[in-house]
A and B are shown apart, each in its own frame.
Chain A
Amino acid sequence: MTDAATQPTEPEPSPGRPVVLVVDDEILLRSVVAEYLRDAGFRVVEAANGREAVTVLAAGEAVDVVFSDVRMPGDVSGYDLAEWVSINRPAVHVLLTSGYVGAVSRSRHVGDSAPMLLPKPFNYERLLQQLRGLIGRPDTG
């Protein structure tokens, strides 16, 4: 799944609100999480699966952090997505989430380290803390 083609130029960091790409095949969860993050001050792009997320990132859209489910239908899992990001958009942070115990205990290494994983069900405040910690911006207001 790794992209051997020309690596897109990393866009400039978002000068205003940080951008989160939320990736989850469960629409109700995806839309609630996206709405929560928008209210918290993030700009949010929503993708229904890993392939859509790759499409957005490959198009060069400014994204600061990807928040993705691990297990999704299709050929691109959350770990596949994290691997793609580490190769093609290394400046983008990745936070994965899963309700599957196996995903937590068997988190695989992507690049030099395992991506961060937030188990489901997660506390929304904890999610905010993790995202803000990854992008290094304590407040998104």
Chain B
Amino acid sequence: MSSADPSTGTAQAVSETILVIDPDILVRMVIAGYLRECGYAVIEAVSVEEAWIVLTSGRPVHVVLVELTLHGAIDGFALAQHVHQHFPDIDVILTGSASSTANKAHDLCEDGRLDKPYHPKEIVNRISQLRERRRVSISARPPAVGCARQSEGLPPLKPM
């Protein structure tokens, strides 16, 4: 996949790739789907550790969209610093909530190819609907500790 045309700053015929990092599957799923409909290629990661595997794999990534307050040994801000240091050509967009993530996704769509002008509020409403449906349908037994949080025995973040 090619990167954006440096002279125009816009995505070319082949999509730019956005790495979306969010431990909430329902948020991640909606944001990623929205960005794909706008024409981006999207890689979805559940954690900083997964994101680092992608970034050091050699797969092209142009933008990282990450929540600032990720849980774990390394938060979104620390990841942004790592990316800036080791992959200076990759833009990092930090968000603080599902609604700000939706707003940032909308901004990305405005800057790139846009076939459907979604309002970011539609994305937030969709996320709320999914969460409400999940809240109503899950059992009384509390869920086990989230598997997405791999917080022990992690290798240090470093490029390959």
CB distance from A112 to the nearest CB of B (A): 23
Chain A residues positioned under 8 Å from B54 (CB to CB): 27-28, 31
Chain A residues positioned under 8 Å from B29 (CB to CB): 45-46, 56, 61
The answer to the question of B114 belonging to the interface, with a C-beta cut-off of 8 Å to chain A, is no
A75 touches B147 (CB 8 A): yes
B50 touches A5 (CB 8 A): no
Find residues 44-58 in chain A having any chain B CB closer than 8 Å to their own CB.
45-52, 55-56, 58
Q: Contact residue range for chain A?
A: 20 to 34
Q: If the complex has contacts A31-B43, A31-B44, are A58 and B147 also in contact, measured as CB distance less than 8 A?
A: no
Find residues 59-112 in chain B having any chain A CB closer than 8 Å to their own CB.
59
B133 touches A76 (CB 8 A): no
Chain B residues positioned under 8 Å from A27 (CB to CB): 43, 45-46, 50, 53-54
Q: B134's contact among A50, A59, A73, A76, by CB below 8 Å, is which?
A: A59
Find residues 25-42 in chain B having any chain A CB closer than 8 Å to their own CB.
25-26, 29, 32, 41
Chain A residues positioned under 8 Å from B41 (CB to CB): 35
Chain A residue nearest to B146 in the complex (CB):
A51
B147 touches A76 (CB 8 A): yes
B25 touches A72 (CB 8 A): no
Q: B137's contact among A8, A28, A48, by CB below 8 Å, is which?
A: A8
Q: A52's contact among B46, B133, B150, by CB below 8 Å, is which?
A: B46
Of B46, B53, B59, B147, most A-chain CB atoms within 10 Å: B147
The answer to the question of A101 belonging to the interface, with a C-beta cut-off of 8 Å to chain B, is no
B147 touches A4 (CB 8 A): no
Residues of chain A having any CB pair with chain B under 8 Å: 3-8, 25, 27-28, 31, 35, 45-52, 55-56, 58-61, 72-76
Q: Which 9 A-B pairs have the closest CB atoms?
A: A74-B147, A75-B144, A49-B147, A48-B46, A59-B134, A5-B139, A52-B25, A27-B50, A8-B137
A–B Cβ pairs within 8 angstroms, 21 of them: A4-B139, A5-B137, A8-B133, A28-B53, A31-B43, A49-B147, A49-B148, A51-B143, A51-B146, A52-B147, A56-B25, A58-B137, A59-B131, A59-B137, A60-B130, A60-B133, A60-B137, A72-B147, A74-B145, A75-B144, A76-B147
